[in-house]
Chain A
Amino acid sequence: MEDIIYNQLSYPILTWSVFLPLIGALVLLFMRNAHVVRWTALLFTIATFIVSLPLLNNFDKSTHKMQFVEIHEWIPTWDIKYFVGIDGISILFLFLTTLLSILCVLVSWKAIETKTKEFYMAILTMEAGMLGVFVSLDFFLFYIFWEAMLIPMFILIGVWGGQNRVYASIKFFLYTLVGSVLMLVGIIVLYFYGGRTLDILALSEIQYPVKMQFWLFLAFFAAFAVKVPMFPVHTWLPDAHTEAPTAGSVILAGVLIKMGAYGFLRFSIPMLPDATLIFVKPILILSIIAIVYGALVCFAQKDFKRLIAYSSVSHMGFVTLGLFALNTQGVEGGILQMLNHGIITGAMFLMIGIIYERTHTRVIADYGGFAKLVPLYAGFFIILTFASIGLPGTNGFIGEFLIIFGAFKARMIWGVLAATGIILGAGYMLWLYQRIFFQDARTDYEATGAHPVSDINVREVITILPLIVFIFWIGVHPDTFLSYMHSSVENLIKNLNMTTSYAEYENMLVKNIMELF
């Protein structure tokens, strides 16, 4: 057990971070007044954020080992432990989750009028689930959190969603469940093969036979690809995003869909290195398709929110491309881009929620001229637009550049194809911006008309501002964030043990399939 560093702080920081929101949810249970509920929820999300902050300070960047580790026996018969810890890959997501949760509470302040208590309970449970996934180092614990996230999200969409919410929520649930069940099978196989342990670190040490890796990879891939979502299993995403309440969309885009990519990083790549190399080519092809396809679909969208949802498909294509470029720049770019996408698209959905509260429409054609009506809002939105396009100086650039760099380095063609996504991205985002904000406004939205549209207020500015700060922070000084992941990523790449050239791995799939049957 020299591969871990036990928690050195005076209190179990990870446990507190994960369970504080859950305690909050329990506290809410005994409340009646909606206003008190809001404040309590806000308080708990902020408290969680503050509790988790020392992680960033006390994190040892020089090692890839798991840190802040806590281990307790749980179900000894099956060697199930309460085992949590973080490394350079997960720490930033913890931080992203706690930050976005606060903003989700803030943005729902006025938007959620019915069943307020239940809503905030769902948000807090959700937060606990997501944090749990990122810190779990025991498969059993991991799987519990993984599935536990589903339920509050299902409820969020199904209860507080838009008109088509029931369809969207069931679709979301079934889609992800099918994937997770296959993953469960994979976990059980690992359990028996790995000497009846569910310790993720221990299981990562074992060399599995190639044939077994092949099938395990597919099982895990099913769960993670749906979550990312990769083409062609992405169609739950637009529906879920569009129908979800603002806070739901923010969590979905910000954290939930990162789980898939996180799974690749935590399980698929380190545990199944041979299978990873076998599947590199198809995954890269799917990533490229996602980038181009997701972008092209955006051109045809008539719904504001749906467009941003599809743009997520394109952006997540970049992420998986970077991860499976399997070099330092690609993987670090991929991780950073996951963070970036959480920030940018999270902020986008916040903004859409803010304007939806005023206009009650998501149809792009209903907008126009909003730069004049809501100039401050337009100003914030242009920052997000250009961050999404990947303009240098914003976080989007750093992520996309590193990913394209990594892909190009792995093999030129991947980099070249991915870069086309940047042209398309500029196309649909600027066109969207023009249709929403430029030209003349519809008369009934004029401030004097029937539906006065007011500019963004102080609470909303507070909601959006932290994300804007991070957009520029990461854009101007990305080393703050990249430095956390160097050791872990370096270790990940090293363990892949790539002996032959990248191009040869791409041709391994056919050979291996032939051998398998």
Chain B
Amino acid sequence: MKYALIPLLPFIAFVLNIVFGRNYIKDRAHWIAVPAVFGSFVLAVSAFTDVLSGNVININLYSWITSGDFHVTVGFLIDQLSAIMLIVVTSISTLIFIYSIGYMHGDGGYYRFFAYLSLFVFSMLVLVMANNFLLMYFGWEAVGLCSYFLIGFWFHKKSAADAGKKAFIVNRFGDFGFGLGVILIFLTFGSLDYMQVFGQAGSLLGQTIDLFGYDVDLATLICLLLFCGAVGKSAQIPLHVWLPDAMEGPTPVSALIHAATMVTAGVFMVARCNPLFNMSEIAMNTVAIVGGVTAIFAATIALVQNDIKRVIAYSTVSQLGYMFLALGVGAYSAGIFHLYTHAYFKALLFLGSGSVIHALHHAKHDDEQNMQKMGGLRKHMPLTYRVFIIATLSITGIPFLAGFFSKDEILWRAFLGGELGRFLWLLGTIAALLTAFYSWRLIYLTFHGSYRGGEGQEQHIHESPKVITVPLMFLAFGAIFAGYVGIPPLFVEHGDKIGEFLAPVLGHPEGHGTHVQEFFVMGASIFVALAGWIVAYTMYLKKTDLPQKIGSLFKPIHTLLFNKYYIDELYSRSIVQPVLKASDKIILAFDTYVIEGIVNGLPNLIGLFSRKFRTVQTGFLANYGLVMAFGVLCIIGYMIFVR
């Protein structure tokens, strides 16, 4: 039961800060939030060791909704998968909370920031710890809510308010599918409890369902509906559009929510539902293809962006694509492994860029996220520079840092996955090349060369304070060593500790290859990592006029990439504008003119009739006599001729 405190501690911090923050706690908000989240971390470690010793904790707290045969509880499941997620979420949250003390110092909404952040941690922990689909859905929506609050944290900026709204609504499209998937699961299995649903997953085999007149494989339908939610939350094609805009939020938010934890919820969910996904090859292939395509698609956009946070955001989308690729080829533990290493190096990249932005902000830089206006920061911010290098080495997959192990595992598993797998491996490897290029481009533009910002700013740029740099160092440690729990058996017998640990939940991936093949895959990914590095080195450090030349040489492609394939414009034209136009020009017009026309027209019609009819009453006796005589004639005629 004490593990119920893991989510509850941050929730208490949220309540205290939101209720008393404005008038009483103010800029002491971190004194409540940081201990709370650290407490969760300690409990999470305790839960982890508990699971490590072979216990799986599954408790129901109370009955949530009962209606007829529908029943769902509030309860928690801590198994191998959620234990790892708990460690990732609480450890990174703790570091980012501490970082935020420095980063958000002096902001008018300081208490609000910590309140929302605490609420987020609560929601994320509920999502991870839930033991049934509906409670996961609760966490799922609640993290979306926090994301909305935190993206729009500086709500006086229109762009921030827009971005928050966009994130929420785009996610709703995904949740539309997710919610229906949850309902379909209940109708199929008669329960939403993981244990019961996954226990009966085998019964899905061969079942079909009538969908608008077509017979559809039930397992495929359920999995694709669930995957809709994952596509939204984890920003995969075609619902990736919200994540880059989400960078409007404060940088710690980008690191925690939009890199390390929330956006990986989709990956977690698919991994959690692996018994269902295993029942449908179509669904698995869809996951793999969406992942692989997103990985390379987002990487191409990142090549030409100038906003430091947006480059990292697209990088996140791309790395999430890798994770889905892994899940789709059945290498669930590889996907979770990458989720775990990615959390450290990507949080580090974001917080590092936050450190840069923080420094430039204090130097009164007016365009503090534009890399074209940076340069030469290496000498002013040596520590930030160094951790940035570590993160970059890690993400590009240089041996033997964290990213190397997890990325290599994914590519290797893809390689073994038949023809489709080979193709996806190729996509992944090309994406790795692009990753290396844009990551080093970021480093060179930001930290090398000479300063390109405004005059008189450079001497004001200083390294960030300890409260910011210490969390960076912790994360750098993670970015280097986090991968050592998953050393391929090629190097160390039983080195894949994480894979073995997760096996009870996620199973063992299929497929075996030769050592030669494995060395080839590994060599290829190291080769592209170095190649991308060298190209970036040449273009941005040696021949600095090259980017310009290449850019103008391939003008249309550059424009296309720079404008993110015009997807936002496409959605705006095809969905947003039509809805607004339809509501104004068609629906409202229908309401005002047609329905109201009839409603108001009826009395008018009656009025019209009565006005016309009134004239019959002329008051002249002769007229009445005439009409009467006519009537009598009619009756007589009727009597004689008709009867």
Contact = CB atoms under 8 A, between A and B. Distances in A.
Binding partners A and B: yes
A438 interface: yes
Given A235-B591, A297-B588, A416-B180, A426 B169 contact: yes
B138 A393 contact: yes
Nearest to B137: A392
Given A404-B183, A408-B180, A423-B169, A440 B156 contact: yes
A478 B64 contact: yes
Contact of A333 (B67, B138, B180, B579): B67
A85 B335 CA distance: 60
B358 interface: no
Interface stretch (B171-179, B270-278, B376-384, B617-625): B171-179
Interface stretch (A1-9, A269-277, A354-362, A427-435): A427-435
Contacts of A404: 179-180, 183
B599 A327 contact: no
Contacts of A256: none
A392 B183 contact: no
Interface string B315-353: 000000000000000000000000000000000000000
B156 A372 contact: yes
A178 to B, nearest CB: 10
B156 A479 contact: no
A490 B176 contact: no
Interface in B556-603: 579-580, 582-584, 587-588, 591, 595-596, 599
A329 B67 contact: yes
A375 interface: yes
Contacts of B179: 401, 404, 419, 422
A439 interface: yes
Contacts of B643: none
Given A430-B169, A482-B66, A439 B180 contact: no
B155 interface: yes
Contact of B172 (A423, A478, A483): A423
A300 B176 contact: no
B520 interface: no
Given A296-B582, A426-B169, A409 B187 contact: yes
Contacts of B168: 426, 430
Nearest to A402: B67
B137 to A, nearest CB: 6
B66 A439 contact: no
B596 A235 contact: yes
A427 B579 contact: yes
A211 to B, nearest CB: 29
Interface in B35-70: 62-70
A204 B183 CA distance: 34
B180 A419 contact: yes
A299 B580 contact: yes
B165 interface: yes
Q: Place the interface of chain B in its size category.
A: 35 or more
A323 B296 CA distance: 48
A235 to B, nearest CB: 5
Contacts of B596: 235
Given A328-B69, A427-B169, A482-B65, A437 B582 contact: no
B141 interface: yes
Contacts of A438: 152, 155-156, 158, 161
A431 B584 CA distance: 15
Nearest to A425: B172
A387 to B, nearest CB: 11
Which of B138, B152, B210, B583 has the most C-beta atoms of chain A within 10 angstroms of its own C-beta? B583
Nearest to B594: A232
B145 interface: yes
Nearest to B19: A379
B183 A297 contact: no
B83 to A, nearest CB: 24
A386 B145 contact: yes
Interface string A413-457: 101100110111011001100100111100000000000000000
Nearest to A174: B603
B172 A413 contact: no
Contacts of B68: 327-329, 332, 486, 489-490
B157 to A, nearest CB: 8
A220 interface: no
Contacts of A328: 67-70
B173 A423 contact: yes
A252 B554 CA distance: 63
B212 interface: yes
A478 B176 CA distance: 22
Nearest to A170: B603
Contacts of B18: 379
Q: Which 7 A-B pairs have the closest CB atoms?
A: A328-B68, A299-B583, A392-B138, A438-B161, A300-B584, A300-B588, A438-B155
30 contacts: A232-B595, A235-B599, A300-B584, A300-B587, A300-B588, A327-B68, A369-B156, A393-B142, A397-B141, A398-B65, A401-B65, A404-B180, A405-B186, A412-B210, A419-B176, A419-B179, A419-B180, A423-B176, A424-B579, A426-B169, A427-B169, A430-B168, A438-B156, A439-B155, A439-B161, A478-B64, A482-B65, A482-B66, A486-B67, A486-B68
Given A372-B156, A423-B173, A427-B169, 7 more contacts: A235-B596, A409-B187, A439-B156, A439-B161, A479-B63, A479-B65, A489-B68
